[in-house]
Amino acid sequence: MYLTPEQIASANKAGVETLLGLASSQFAAFERLSALNFNAAKAAFEEGLGRTKSLLGAKDIQEYITLNTVASQPAIEKAIAYSRSVYEVAAQTQSELAKVLEARAAEFSKSLVGILDKVSKSTPASSDVAVAAVKSAIAAASTAYDNFNKVAKQATEMAEANFNAATTATAAPKEKKHAAAAA
């Protein structure tokens, strides 16, 4: 069994398209992270200027301490929001990469089984056992890969739940402080 030039060209084209898709996805993620970092830096700079001006305008040490304390909680909330945004970009990028890899793995497995079927038709009858063993190994590898993906998805979901719980727990003290201050 020989591969035709068309089959080789088709396989090469599919590989290049996959790589270009992955590169595009990575550049989009880099662009989102760059915009996120730029906006965070710009906001921090502007808030720092405003905070400095208000602190310089404090009339006494008590007002200075109060202004400083009041400004710290929004900074914590913004840091949490920033980390959540970075996490979302990373999770989305990882998800896109996993989808591409899953599709390519399924396509590769299907192609390999097709090639084995063609090979088994043109080989002596005694080679059926070897072809069946290779097909069995491919099926076992595919099952293992699927199980690994399921475990990885569960771990990702657990990490996301833990991240959300941690950010919620970090924001909770603020709500208690505001409730105590209102009372």
> Which contacts (CB < 8 Å, 24+ apart) does range 167-176 have?
167/80, 167/83, 167/84, 170/76, 170/80, 171/77, 171/80, 174/73, 174/76, 174/77
Instruction: Provide the token pair at 135.
Output: 């097909």
Task: Give 3-61 pLDDT, tens digit per residue.
Answer: 678 877 887 888 888 888 889 989 999 999 999 999 999 999 998 898 888 888 888 88
Instruction: Provide the token pair at 14.
Output: 């599919």
Length of the chain: 183
Task: Give 142-155 pLDDT, tens digit per residue.
Answer: 787 777 777 777 77
- Is the whole-model pTM more than 0.85? no
Identify the residue with better confidence: 85 or 74: 85
Task: Indicate the residue type of 133.
Answer: A
SS3 annotation, the chain: CCCCHHHHHHHHHHHHHHHHHHHHHHHHHHHHHHHHHHHHHHHHHHHHHHHHHHHHCCCCHHHHHHHHHHHHHHHHHHHHHHHHHHHHHHHHHHHHHHHHHHHHHHHHHHHHHHHHHHHHHHCCHHHHHHHHHHHHHHHHHHHHHHHHHHHHHHHHHHHHHHHHHHHHHHHHHHHHHHHHHHC
pLDDT at 33: 94
* % of the chain beyond a pLDDT of 70: 88
Position 173 pLDDT exceeds 90: no
Position 113 pLDDT exceeds 80: no
